[in-house]
Structure 1
Amino acid sequence: MKWSQFFNTSIGKKLLVGATGLFLCSFVLVHLAGNFQLLYKDEGKAFNAYAQFMGHNSLIQFIAWGLKIVILLHAFIAIQLTFSNRAARPVKYAVNPGNATSSWFSRQMAVMGSILFIFIVVHLAQLWGKFHYGEMPTKTYEGMTEPLKDLYAVTYQLFENPIVVLIYVIGMIGLSFHLIHGFKSACQTFGLNHKKYNGIINFIGVWVFGIAIPVGFAIIPVLIYFNR
Protein backbone atom coordinates (compact mmCIF):
# COMPACT_ATOMS: atom_id res chain seq x y z
CA MET A 1 0.00 0.00 0.00
CA LYS A 2 1.29 3.46 -0.90
CA TRP A 3 1.80 6.04 1.85
CA SER A 4 -0.86 8.28 0.29
CA GLN A 5 -3.33 5.40 0.44
CA PHE A 6 -2.33 4.46 4.00
CA PHE A 7 -2.96 7.97 5.34
CA ASN A 8 -6.38 7.90 3.72
CA THR A 9 -7.38 4.96 5.93
CA SER A 10 -8.87 5.30 9.41
CA ILE A 11 -5.65 4.03 11.04
CA GLY A 12 -3.51 6.38 8.95
CA LYS A 13 -5.69 9.35 9.85
CA LYS A 14 -5.53 8.48 13.54
CA LEU A 15 -1.73 8.37 13.32
CA LEU A 16 -1.70 11.80 11.65
CA VAL A 17 -4.03 13.25 14.28
CA GLY A 18 -1.86 11.76 17.04
CA ALA A 19 1.41 12.99 15.52
CA THR A 20 0.15 16.51 14.85
CA GLY A 21 -1.45 16.57 18.30
CA LEU A 22 1.83 15.69 20.06
CA PHE A 23 3.62 18.36 17.99
CA LEU A 24 1.04 20.92 19.13
CA CYS A 25 1.55 19.78 22.74
CA SER A 26 5.23 20.68 22.46
CA PHE A 27 4.30 24.04 20.96
CA VAL A 28 2.04 25.08 23.86
CA LEU A 29 4.92 24.51 26.29
CA VAL A 30 7.19 26.89 24.37
CA HIS A 31 4.41 29.41 23.83
CA LEU A 32 3.52 29.49 27.52
CA ALA A 33 7.16 30.09 28.51
CA GLY A 34 7.26 33.07 26.14
CA ASN A 35 3.94 34.45 27.38
CA PHE A 36 5.05 34.45 31.01
CA GLN A 37 7.40 37.29 30.07
CA LEU A 38 4.27 39.48 29.95
CA LEU A 39 4.34 39.40 33.77
CA TYR A 40 7.88 40.79 34.05
CA LYS A 41 7.97 44.30 35.53
CA ASP A 42 10.32 45.65 32.86
CA GLU A 43 7.90 47.74 30.78
CA GLY A 44 7.70 44.95 28.23
CA LYS A 45 11.38 44.79 27.26
CA ALA A 46 11.76 41.00 27.59
CA PHE A 47 8.42 40.18 25.96
CA ASN A 48 8.85 42.64 23.07
CA ALA A 49 12.38 41.36 22.40
CA TYR A 50 11.00 37.81 22.42
CA ALA A 51 8.19 38.81 20.03
CA GLN A 52 10.66 40.58 17.75
CA PHE A 53 12.86 37.48 17.57
CA MET A 54 9.94 35.09 17.05
CA GLY A 55 8.37 37.36 14.44
CA HIS A 56 11.43 38.00 12.28
CA ASN A 57 13.74 34.99 12.58
CA SER A 58 13.52 33.09 9.27
CA LEU A 59 13.71 29.63 10.84
CA ILE A 60 11.11 30.47 13.48
CA GLN A 61 8.79 31.90 10.83
CA PHE A 62 9.16 28.75 8.73
CA ILE A 63 8.23 26.66 11.78
CA ALA A 64 5.37 29.05 12.60
CA TRP A 65 3.79 28.68 9.17
CA GLY A 66 4.28 24.93 9.43
CA LEU A 67 2.51 25.07 12.78
CA LYS A 68 -0.51 26.78 11.24
CA ILE A 69 -0.65 24.09 8.55
CA VAL A 70 -0.42 21.42 11.27
CA ILE A 71 -3.33 23.02 13.17
CA LEU A 72 -5.49 23.02 10.05
CA LEU A 73 -4.45 19.46 9.16
CA HIS A 74 -5.13 18.27 12.70
CA ALA A 75 -8.59 19.88 12.73
CA PHE A 76 -9.50 18.70 9.22
CA ILE A 77 -8.54 15.06 9.80
CA ALA A 78 -10.20 15.02 13.25
CA ILE A 79 -13.45 16.25 11.66
CA GLN A 80 -13.13 13.59 8.95
CA LEU A 81 -12.72 10.87 11.58
CA THR A 82 -15.72 12.16 13.54
CA PHE A 83 -18.00 12.02 10.52
CA SER A 84 -16.58 8.66 9.43
CA ASN A 85 -17.31 7.17 12.86
CA ARG A 86 -20.85 8.53 12.78
CA ALA A 87 -21.42 7.21 9.26
CA ALA A 88 -20.19 3.77 10.32
CA ARG A 89 -22.84 3.75 13.05
CA PRO A 90 -25.84 5.57 11.54
CA VAL A 91 -28.27 4.15 14.11
CA LYS A 92 -27.65 5.37 17.65
CA TYR A 93 -27.57 2.94 20.53
CA ALA A 94 -30.99 2.30 22.08
CA VAL A 95 -29.33 2.78 25.47
CA ASN A 96 -26.51 5.29 25.84
CA PRO A 97 -23.50 3.23 27.01
CA GLY A 98 -21.99 6.30 28.68
CA ASN A 99 -18.72 5.66 30.45
CA ALA A 100 -18.88 1.94 29.65
CA THR A 101 -17.32 2.47 26.23
CA SER A 102 -15.67 5.89 26.36
CA SER A 103 -14.71 8.69 28.71
CA TRP A 104 -16.69 11.90 29.01
CA PHE A 105 -13.70 13.79 27.64
CA SER A 106 -13.57 11.70 24.47
CA ARG A 107 -17.27 12.26 23.83
CA GLN A 108 -16.79 16.03 24.07
CA MET A 109 -13.72 16.25 21.81
CA ALA A 110 -15.66 17.62 18.83
CA VAL A 111 -17.29 20.37 20.92
CA MET A 112 -14.14 21.32 22.80
CA GLY A 113 -12.07 21.13 19.64
CA SER A 114 -14.48 23.52 17.91
CA ILE A 115 -14.30 25.98 20.83
CA LEU A 116 -10.51 25.78 20.77
CA PHE A 117 -10.31 26.28 17.00
CA ILE A 118 -12.55 29.38 17.17
CA PHE A 119 -10.41 30.73 20.00
CA ILE A 120 -7.20 30.21 17.98
CA VAL A 121 -8.67 32.13 15.03
CA VAL A 122 -9.72 35.01 17.33
CA HIS A 123 -6.33 35.00 19.07
CA LEU A 124 -4.40 35.11 15.79
CA ALA A 125 -6.58 37.94 14.48
CA GLN A 126 -6.20 40.02 17.66
CA LEU A 127 -2.44 39.70 18.21
CA TRP A 128 -0.52 37.77 15.55
CA GLY A 129 -2.29 39.44 12.64
CA LYS A 130 -1.92 42.89 14.15
CA PHE A 131 1.77 42.32 14.91
CA HIS A 132 2.60 41.24 11.36
CA TYR A 133 0.13 43.16 9.22
CA GLY A 134 -1.48 45.92 11.28
CA GLU A 135 -0.37 49.18 12.82
CA MET A 136 1.40 48.86 16.14
CA PRO A 137 3.15 51.33 18.48
CA THR A 138 6.88 51.02 19.02
CA LYS A 139 9.11 51.47 22.04
CA THR A 140 12.86 51.99 22.36
CA TYR A 141 14.59 50.55 25.42
CA GLU A 142 17.86 51.53 27.01
CA GLY A 143 20.76 49.75 25.34
CA MET A 144 18.84 49.22 22.10
CA THR A 145 19.46 51.24 18.96
CA GLU A 146 16.24 50.31 17.16
CA PRO A 147 12.67 50.49 18.47
CA LEU A 148 10.65 47.32 19.02
CA LYS A 149 7.01 46.78 18.17
CA ASP A 150 5.21 47.22 21.47
CA LEU A 151 3.13 44.04 21.49
CA TYR A 152 3.35 44.18 25.28
CA ALA A 153 1.32 47.42 25.41
CA VAL A 154 -1.20 46.12 22.85
CA THR A 155 -1.69 42.92 24.85
CA TYR A 156 -2.18 44.81 28.12
CA GLN A 157 -4.70 47.10 26.43
CA LEU A 158 -6.54 44.07 25.03
CA PHE A 159 -6.83 42.48 28.48
CA GLU A 160 -8.34 45.61 30.00
CA ASN A 161 -11.61 44.36 28.51
CA PRO A 162 -13.26 41.80 30.86
CA ILE A 163 -15.11 40.22 27.92
CA VAL A 164 -11.83 39.50 26.16
CA VAL A 165 -10.40 38.03 29.37
CA LEU A 166 -13.48 35.80 29.68
CA ILE A 167 -13.09 34.64 26.07
CA TYR A 168 -9.47 33.67 26.76
CA VAL A 169 -10.42 31.79 29.93
CA ILE A 170 -13.15 29.88 28.06
CA GLY A 171 -10.66 29.13 25.30
CA MET A 172 -8.28 27.67 27.87
CA ILE A 173 -11.08 25.51 29.30
CA GLY A 174 -11.50 24.15 25.78
CA LEU A 175 -7.74 23.59 25.58
CA SER A 176 -7.76 21.78 28.93
CA PHE A 177 -10.49 19.29 28.00
CA HIS A 178 -8.93 18.77 24.57
CA LEU A 179 -5.46 18.05 25.97
CA ILE A 180 -6.64 15.74 28.76
CA HIS A 181 -8.09 13.31 26.24
CA GLY A 182 -5.85 14.16 23.29
CA PHE A 183 -2.49 13.46 24.94
CA LYS A 184 -3.59 10.09 26.28
CA SER A 185 -5.29 9.18 23.00
CA ALA A 186 -2.16 10.05 21.00
CA CYS A 187 -0.03 7.86 23.27
CA GLN A 188 -2.49 4.98 22.78
CA THR A 189 -2.40 5.48 19.00
CA PHE A 190 1.38 5.00 19.05
CA GLY A 191 1.14 1.92 21.26
CA LEU A 192 2.46 3.51 24.47
CA ASN A 193 -0.49 2.36 26.61
CA HIS A 194 1.06 -0.15 29.00
CA LYS A 195 0.46 -0.68 32.70
CA LYS A 196 4.10 0.20 33.26
CA TYR A 197 3.70 3.65 31.66
CA ASN A 198 -0.01 4.45 32.05
CA GLY A 199 0.53 6.14 35.41
CA ILE A 200 3.03 8.67 34.10
CA ILE A 201 1.06 9.15 30.86
CA ASN A 202 -2.10 9.94 32.83
CA PHE A 203 -0.16 12.28 35.14
CA ILE A 204 1.39 14.23 32.26
CA GLY A 205 -1.85 14.26 30.28
CA VAL A 206 -4.07 15.45 33.15
CA TRP A 207 -1.87 17.47 35.51
CA VAL A 208 0.67 18.95 33.08
CA PHE A 209 -1.14 19.39 29.76
CA GLY A 210 -4.72 19.27 31.05
CA ILE A 211 -4.38 21.54 34.09
CA ALA A 212 -1.03 23.28 34.57
CA ILE A 213 -0.59 24.59 31.02
CA PRO A 214 -4.19 25.86 30.44
CA VAL A 215 -4.21 27.45 33.94
CA GLY A 216 -0.86 29.08 33.14
CA PHE A 217 -2.26 30.56 29.92
CA ALA A 218 -5.53 31.65 31.58
CA ILE A 219 -3.93 33.27 34.60
CA ILE A 220 -1.93 35.73 32.48
CA PRO A 221 -4.91 37.77 31.16
CA VAL A 222 -6.62 37.49 34.58
CA LEU A 223 -3.57 38.91 36.39
CA ILE A 224 -3.14 41.64 33.79
CA TYR A 225 -6.81 42.63 34.15
CA PHE A 226 -6.79 42.83 37.96
CA ASN A 227 -3.39 44.59 38.09
CA ARG A 228 -4.04 47.11 35.33
Structure 2
Amino acid sequence: MNFFNHTATRKKWMAIAGLIWLLYLVFHLLSLLNFHSGKDTFNDFYHWFSQTPFYAFMLVLLIATLIFHVITAVSRQLYNNTSAGVRYQKKYPEAIPRVLAWGGAAALFAFIVFHSVQMTLLIDKVDLYQSIVSMFSNPIMWLIYGLGLITLAAHLHHGLTNVLQTFGLSSKHHHAAAIGIVLVVVVSFISIPMSVIL
Protein backbone atom coordinates (compact mmCIF):
# COMPACT_ATOMS: atom_id res chain seq x y z
CA MET A 1 0.00 0.00 0.00
CA ASN A 2 1.27 3.45 -0.92
CA PHE A 3 2.33 5.31 2.25
CA PHE A 4 0.95 8.66 1.11
CA ASN A 5 -2.43 7.12 0.30
CA HIS A 6 -2.87 5.62 3.76
CA THR A 7 -4.54 8.41 5.73
CA ALA A 8 -4.16 7.01 9.26
CA THR A 9 -0.48 6.10 8.84
CA ARG A 10 0.27 9.41 7.16
CA LYS A 11 -1.36 11.40 9.96
CA LYS A 12 0.45 9.52 12.71
CA TRP A 13 3.92 9.89 11.18
CA MET A 14 3.22 13.53 10.45
CA ALA A 15 2.15 13.95 14.09
CA ILE A 16 5.35 12.28 15.30
CA ALA A 17 7.46 14.62 13.16
CA GLY A 18 5.52 17.57 14.60
CA LEU A 19 6.09 16.30 18.15
CA ILE A 20 9.84 16.09 17.52
CA TRP A 21 9.76 19.75 16.52
CA LEU A 22 7.66 20.58 19.58
CA LEU A 23 10.28 18.95 21.82
CA TYR A 24 12.98 20.95 20.06
CA LEU A 25 10.92 24.13 20.46
CA VAL A 26 10.70 23.54 24.22
CA PHE A 27 14.44 22.86 24.42
CA HIS A 28 15.22 25.91 22.28
CA LEU A 29 12.99 28.07 24.47
CA LEU A 30 14.49 26.83 27.74
CA SER A 31 18.02 27.38 26.44
CA LEU A 32 17.12 30.86 25.24
CA LEU A 33 15.76 31.74 28.67
CA ASN A 34 19.38 31.56 29.82
CA PHE A 35 19.59 34.99 28.20
CA HIS A 36 18.05 36.38 31.40
CA SER A 37 20.93 34.90 33.42
CA GLY A 38 23.47 37.19 31.79
CA LYS A 39 26.05 37.24 29.05
CA ASP A 40 28.56 34.74 30.44
CA THR A 41 26.01 32.08 31.35
CA PHE A 42 24.26 32.39 27.98
CA ASN A 43 27.42 32.32 25.87
CA ASP A 44 29.01 29.51 27.90
CA PHE A 45 25.98 27.26 27.46
CA TYR A 46 25.81 27.71 23.69
CA HIS A 47 29.56 27.32 23.25
CA TRP A 48 29.42 24.07 25.22
CA PHE A 49 26.31 22.72 23.50
CA SER A 50 27.58 23.43 19.97
CA GLN A 51 30.58 21.17 20.68
CA THR A 52 28.54 18.17 21.82
CA PRO A 53 27.76 15.22 19.47
CA PHE A 54 24.06 15.74 20.17
CA TYR A 55 24.17 19.13 18.42
CA ALA A 56 25.00 17.63 15.01
CA PHE A 57 22.49 14.81 15.53
CA MET A 58 19.80 17.34 16.45
CA LEU A 59 20.42 19.40 13.30
CA VAL A 60 20.15 16.34 11.03
CA LEU A 61 17.00 15.15 12.81
CA LEU A 62 15.34 18.56 12.60
CA ILE A 63 16.11 19.00 8.89
CA ALA A 64 14.87 15.49 8.09
CA THR A 65 11.64 15.80 10.09
CA LEU A 66 10.91 19.28 8.74
CA ILE A 67 11.27 18.11 5.13
CA PHE A 68 9.15 15.03 5.90
CA HIS A 69 6.49 17.13 7.67
CA VAL A 70 6.21 19.61 4.78
CA ILE A 71 6.16 16.95 2.05
CA THR A 72 3.55 14.92 3.94
CA ALA A 73 1.33 17.95 4.53
CA VAL A 74 1.44 18.97 0.88
CA SER A 75 0.93 15.42 -0.40
CA ARG A 76 -2.02 14.88 1.94
CA GLN A 77 -3.69 18.01 0.63
CA LEU A 78 -3.02 17.12 -3.00
CA TYR A 79 -4.34 13.61 -2.44
CA ASN A 80 -7.42 15.01 -0.71
CA ASN A 81 -8.03 17.39 -3.62
CA THR A 82 -7.96 14.52 -6.10
CA SER A 83 -10.01 12.06 -4.03
CA ALA A 84 -12.70 10.23 -5.96
CA GLY A 85 -15.92 12.13 -5.46
CA VAL A 86 -16.39 15.53 -3.88
CA ARG A 87 -18.10 14.02 -0.85
CA TYR A 88 -14.87 12.24 0.15
CA GLN A 89 -12.87 15.44 0.17
CA LYS A 90 -12.24 16.95 3.58
CA LYS A 91 -13.27 20.60 3.66
CA TYR A 92 -11.52 23.32 5.58
CA PRO A 93 -13.53 24.92 8.40
CA GLU A 94 -15.31 28.02 7.14
CA ALA A 95 -13.60 30.06 9.87
CA ILE A 96 -10.18 29.24 8.33
CA PRO A 97 -9.98 30.05 4.62
CA ARG A 98 -7.69 27.67 2.71
CA VAL A 99 -5.44 30.51 1.51
CA LEU A 100 -5.00 31.72 5.10
CA ALA A 101 -4.13 28.25 6.41
CA TRP A 102 -1.58 27.55 3.69
CA GLY A 103 -0.29 31.12 3.70
CA GLY A 104 0.39 30.87 7.43
CA ALA A 105 2.16 27.52 7.05
CA ALA A 106 4.28 28.90 4.20
CA ALA A 107 5.14 32.00 6.25
CA LEU A 108 6.21 29.82 9.19
CA PHE A 109 8.37 27.67 6.92
CA ALA A 110 9.98 30.82 5.47
CA PHE A 111 10.61 32.12 8.99
CA ILE A 112 12.24 28.85 10.08
CA VAL A 113 14.54 28.95 7.05
CA PHE A 114 15.36 32.64 7.63
CA HIS A 115 16.00 32.13 11.35
CA SER A 116 18.16 29.05 10.72
CA VAL A 117 20.31 30.82 8.14
CA GLN A 118 20.58 33.91 10.33
CA MET A 119 21.63 32.00 13.46
CA THR A 120 23.95 29.63 11.59
CA LEU A 121 25.72 31.91 9.12
CA LEU A 122 25.03 35.58 9.79
CA ILE A 123 25.76 36.19 13.46
CA ASP A 124 28.84 36.32 15.66
CA LYS A 125 28.90 33.01 17.53
CA VAL A 126 31.80 34.10 19.72
CA ASP A 127 29.52 36.55 21.52
CA LEU A 128 26.04 35.23 20.81
CA TYR A 129 24.57 37.28 23.62
CA GLN A 130 25.69 40.56 22.07
CA SER A 131 24.55 39.38 18.64
CA ILE A 132 21.03 38.90 19.99
CA VAL A 133 21.11 42.30 21.67
CA SER A 134 22.14 43.91 18.38
CA MET A 135 19.56 41.93 16.44
CA PHE A 136 16.65 43.01 18.61
CA SER A 137 17.80 46.61 18.62
CA ASN A 138 16.68 46.69 14.98
CA PRO A 139 12.93 47.44 14.51
CA ILE A 140 12.88 45.34 11.32
CA MET A 141 13.87 42.28 13.36
CA TRP A 142 11.00 43.00 15.74
CA LEU A 143 8.63 42.93 12.79
CA ILE A 144 10.08 39.72 11.35
CA TYR A 145 10.10 37.92 14.68
CA GLY A 146 6.66 39.25 15.59
CA LEU A 147 5.21 37.79 12.39
CA GLY A 148 7.17 34.61 13.00
CA LEU A 149 5.68 34.23 16.48
CA ILE A 150 2.16 34.83 15.19
CA THR A 151 2.50 32.10 12.57
CA LEU A 152 4.19 29.82 15.11
CA ALA A 153 1.35 30.32 17.60
CA ALA A 154 -1.32 29.58 14.99
CA HIS A 155 0.47 26.48 13.66
CA LEU A 156 1.33 25.22 17.13
CA HIS A 157 -2.29 25.47 18.27
CA HIS A 158 -3.50 23.75 15.10
CA GLY A 159 -0.81 21.09 15.38
CA LEU A 160 -1.34 20.33 19.06
CA THR A 161 -5.10 19.91 18.69
CA ASN A 162 -4.62 17.71 15.60
CA VAL A 163 -1.97 15.57 17.30
CA LEU A 164 -4.23 15.03 20.31
CA GLN A 165 -7.08 14.10 18.01
CA THR A 166 -4.87 11.76 15.96
CA PHE A 167 -3.94 9.84 19.10
CA GLY A 168 -7.49 9.84 20.44
CA LEU A 169 -7.00 12.44 23.18
CA SER A 170 -9.20 15.22 21.87
CA SER A 171 -11.50 16.98 24.33
CA LYS A 172 -12.35 20.47 25.56
CA HIS A 173 -9.79 20.07 28.36
CA HIS A 174 -7.02 19.16 25.90
CA HIS A 175 -8.03 22.09 23.69
CA ALA A 176 -7.63 24.42 26.67
CA ALA A 177 -4.25 22.84 27.46
CA ALA A 178 -3.13 23.46 23.86
CA ILE A 179 -4.07 27.15 24.18
CA GLY A 180 -2.20 27.34 27.49
CA ILE A 181 0.94 25.80 25.99
CA VAL A 182 0.83 28.24 23.06
CA LEU A 183 0.47 31.23 25.39
CA VAL A 184 3.38 30.11 27.58
CA VAL A 185 5.61 29.56 24.54
CA VAL A 186 4.76 32.91 22.93
CA VAL A 187 5.15 34.94 26.14
CA SER A 188 8.45 33.22 26.93
CA PHE A 189 9.86 33.95 23.48
CA ILE A 190 8.69 37.56 23.67
CA SER A 191 10.54 37.97 26.98
CA ILE A 192 13.90 37.78 25.16
CA PRO A 193 13.55 40.83 22.89
CA MET A 194 11.61 42.67 25.60
CA SER A 195 14.57 42.33 27.96
CA VAL A 196 16.79 43.92 25.29
CA ILE A 197 14.78 47.12 24.99
CA LEU A 198 13.76 47.53 28.64
Is TM more than 0.5 here?
yes
Tell me, yes or no, if structure 1 residue 215 matches structure 2 residue 187. yes
RMSD: 2.6
Which residue of 12, 15, 30 corresponds with 1:15?
A: 12
Q: For 2:114 and 2:137, how far apart are their aligned partners in 1? A: 17
1:105 Cα deviation from its structure 2 partner: 5.4
Q: Which contiguous aligned blocks of 4+ residues in structure 1 show a shift greater than 6 angstroms?
A: 89-92
Alignment of 1:47-126 (within 5 A): 47-88=42-83, 102=93, 104=95, 107=98, 108-126=100-118
Q: Which amino acid aligns with 2:118?
A: Q
Could you say what secondary structure the match of 2:82 adopts?
helix
User: Structure 1: which 5+ residue stretches go unaligned?
Assistant: 138-148
Q: Percent identity?
A: 26
Q: For 2:14 and 2:60, how far apart are their aligned partners in 1? A: 18
Q: Which amino acid aligns with 2:184?
A: A
The residue that corresponds to 2:28 in the other structure is 31
CA contact (8 A) 1:112 1:174 kept: yes
Q: Which amino acid aligns with 2:63?
A: K
Q: For 1:103 and 1:62, how far apart are their aligned partners in 2? A: 41
CA contact (8 A) 1:36 1:220 kept: yes
Between stretches 101-110 and 45-54, larger displacement belongs to 101-110
Q: For 2:63 and 2:142, how far apart are their aligned partners in 1? A: 24
Rg larger for? 1
Tell me, yes or no, if structure 1 residue 200 matches structure 2 residue 191. no
1:31 Cα deviation from its structure 2 partner: 0.8
User: Structure 2: which 5+ residue stretches go unaligned?
Assistant: none
1:89 Cα deviation from its structure 2 partner: 7.8
Distance change (3 Å), C-alpha of 1:12 and 1:129 = farther
Q: For 1:81 and 1:218, how far apart are their aligned partners in 2? A: 33
Q: For 1:103 and 1:30, how far apart are their aligned partners in 2? A: 35
Q: Which amino acid aligns with 1:117?
A: F
Richer in helix (by share): 2
Q: Which amino acid aligns with 1:16?
A: W
